[in-house]
Amino acid sequence: MISGHVFIATSLDGYIARLDGDIDWLLQRDDPAEDHGYHDFIADKDVIVMGRGSFEKVLGFDPWPYDRPVLVLSRQLAGTPVPPGLADKVRFSNATPEQAMAQLSSEGVRRVYVDGGQLVQSFIRAGLVEDMVLTTVPVLIGAGRPLFGTLPQDLDLKLVASRSFPSGLVQSTYRFAP
């Protein structure tokens, strides 16, 4: 069975980015000596699925930060060429979350890192996220792009683990109740 997994950071007021996509408040916390569990998280993921918003932000990073194949879900980008240099690393698709997971499953993919606020919301609504590692940064940014959105009904989660870092970041792992 294929499964989706989230590893994402928010401000204390629940945003993954400012309204203009800025994440400086998060990048400032980067610590070469502390990856906040990212290495362990990514170790058993086969593919990263992200929304166009996240892809456009990460395009500005040099070097390309991922060592896993990336599938970008985007109605706008589907059918357009992948930027030079990323052809063997990135694919564009206008699939729905369900279609994307079915396609990846048929390719033998088992564990998917789902990234991007709107995209994570869609995957959660579709019941395609198994667990989430949420890292809270002790900063209020007042407005921004939220991690969570509207739902047709409440969703219960189980707290699997919680830890804090000397920097003040708090990380909690949740599993969606079956």
Region for 146 from its dihedrals, namely left if φ exceeds 0, alpha if ψ lies in -120 to 50, beta otherwise:
beta
Q: Which of 2, 6, 23, 109 binds ligand NAP (CB under 6 A)?
A: 23
In the complex with ligand NAP, the residue whose CB is nearer, 118 or 171, is 118
Using CB under 6 A as the binding rule, whether residue 21 contacts ligand NAP is answered as yes
Using CB under 6 A as the binding rule, whether residue 4 contacts ligand NAP is answered as no
Using CB under 6 A as the binding rule, whether residue 101 contacts ligand NAP is answered as no
In the complex with ligand NAP, the residue whose CB is nearer, 57 or 111, is 57
Distance CA 145, CA 123 (A): 16
Using CB under 6 A as the binding rule, whether residue 74 contacts ligand NAP is answered as yes
Q: Which of 115, 129, 133, 173 binds ligand NAP (CB under 6 A)?
A: 115
φ and ψ of 28, to 5 deg: -55, -25
Using CB under 6 A as the binding rule, whether residue 132 contacts ligand NAP is answered as no
Which residue(s) pair with 18 in the sheet? none
Minimal CB distance to ligand NAP: which residue?
Answer: 51
Q: Which amino acid is at 1?
A: M
Single out the segment in contact with ligand NAP by CB under 6 A; choices: 20-28, 29-37, 41-49, 165-173.
20-28
Q: Which of 54, 90, 91, 124 binds ligand NAP (CB under 6 A)?
A: 54
Per CB under 6 A, residues contacting ligand NAP are: 8-9, 16-17, 21, 23, 26, 50-54, 57, 73-77, 96-97, 115-119, 122, 145
